[in-house]
Structure 1
Amino acid sequence: MTASNRIVLSSDHAAIQLRQAIAAHIAAHGWVVVDIGPTTPESTHYPKHGEAAARLVASGDCRFGIILCGTGQGIMMAANKVRGIRCGVCVDTFSARMIREHNDANMLSIGVRVVGEGLALDIVDAFLNARFEGGRHATRVEMIEALEG
């Protein structure tokens, strides 16, 4: 098993149900899902879940990561603190496609209180089906990576 077909999923307590729906959806499309929880509804802190998922992507253990919290913003901010991570919050399919095509994003963040399940699954599909275009965008991604110091 290689990282090329592995996706890590994580969330805070607010997004367990949507995370599990996304896991089932992508598994049905042939992806190997690494779901790192949580599994119970007790309040938990999104930064630790964003970081944990980001570390699996940054290490190469997983090709992509999908993370969720109430708005998608906080967990995305935590994930982006991990070197090598390019994660964007998406509330529409166009943005999900663009963060892959133009920014070579390796993680996607979704807000459970912002989008419903149907749209979330469409956003995930747009993200996973898009391919990095390279070219002039590669120079810009290199510039982003250089900011990591």
Structure 2
Amino acid sequence: MKIALINENSQAAKNSQIYEVLKAEAEKAGHTVDNYGMYSAEDEHQLTYVMNGLLASILLTTKAVDFVVTGCGTGQGAMLAANSFPNVLCGHVTNPLDAYLFGQVNDGNCIAMPFAQNFGWGAEINLHDTFAKLFSEPFGGGYPKERVIPEQRNKKILDSVKLVTHRPLIDILKTMDQEFLKSAIDYPEFKELFFANSQDEEISEYLRSVLAK
């Protein structure tokens, strides 16, 4: 998998720590990680957790990445924002057990983590263990294993429901506040990583037009 890390402004100072741990554990499992920032609290370009939900949807819809790791102070706002957009199935993950069960039972494509709440002494140990457990097995394997068939069936039902309850992303991009959209994507690292990896030319071209305004 190609994994994206996206941090918002309140926890941007922890980006490098989170990225190094995520990269280490993801690479052990054969995955790669792209760091979409924020890279420090002093970054000129500021991302909010609502913007991160939008970015997660753009990256996943266009297949620029396969999985997104994001978060905020509690992880709750980031999860709510991510699930507000199409093609994102985001879980709130705080520890290794959450991570394992989310991957095996819910088979989602995004996690939101708390990077302030309970993020104190030894936080890097929990990060290592959480990411290690998240990537320890292919997603969707079920837990308990004998529940795999009904759990996979429920996941397919949820996916079909979300296709009905969410509009296509391209429609959302065209009708949402264009200044908000531009403010979310107009920074060098996003443009470099996204346009090199997007597999959806319609969305890519539309975002280019937004950036050109």
**Unmatched runs of 5 consecutive residues or more in structure 2:** 142-147, 165-213
Verify the 8 A CA contact 1:71 1:113 in the aligned structure 2. Answer: yes
What secondary structure does 2:135 align onto? helix
SS for the counterpart of 2:85 is: coil
What is the CA RMSD across the aligned residues, in angstroms? 2.0
Which residue type is aligned with residue 137 of structure 2? A
Q: Quick check: 2:53–2:84 contact (8 Å CA) kept in 1? A: no
Higher gyration radius (CA): 2
Q: Structure 1: which amino acid aligns with 2:124? A: E
Structure-2 residue corresponding to 1:136: 150
Aligned residue number for residue 10 of structure 1: 6
Distance change (3 Å), C-alpha of 1:28 and 1:136: closer
Opposite residue 38 of structure 1, the aligned amino acid is M
> Are positions 1:147 and 2:161 aligned together?
yes
The equivalent position to 2:94 in structure 1, one of 91, 95, 117, is 91
Question: In 2, Cα distance between the equivalents of 1:48 and 1:64?
Answer: 17
Preserved contact between residue 55 and residue 82 of structure 1 (Cα < 8 Å): no
Distance 1:10 1:142 in 2: 27
Query: What TM-score comes out, normalization by structure 1 length?
Result: 0.84
Which structure: greater helix fraction? Answer: 2
Structure 1 or 2: more strand by fraction: 1
1:63 aligns with 2:66: yes
Is this contact kept in 1: 2:73–2:116, CA < 8 A? yes
Alpha-carbon shift at residue 22 of structure 1 (Å): 3.0
Counterpart of 1:123 (choices 111, 116, 130) is 130
Give the percent of matched residue pairs that are identical in Structure 1 and Structure 2: 21
TM-score by length of 2: 0.61
Aligned partners of 2:92 and 2:107: how far apart in 1?
14
- Displacement after TM superposition at 1:47 (Å): 1.2
Instruction: Give the structure 1 partner of residue 19 of structure 2.
Output: 20
Gaps of 5+ in 1: none
Counterpart amino acid of residue 136 in structure 2: N
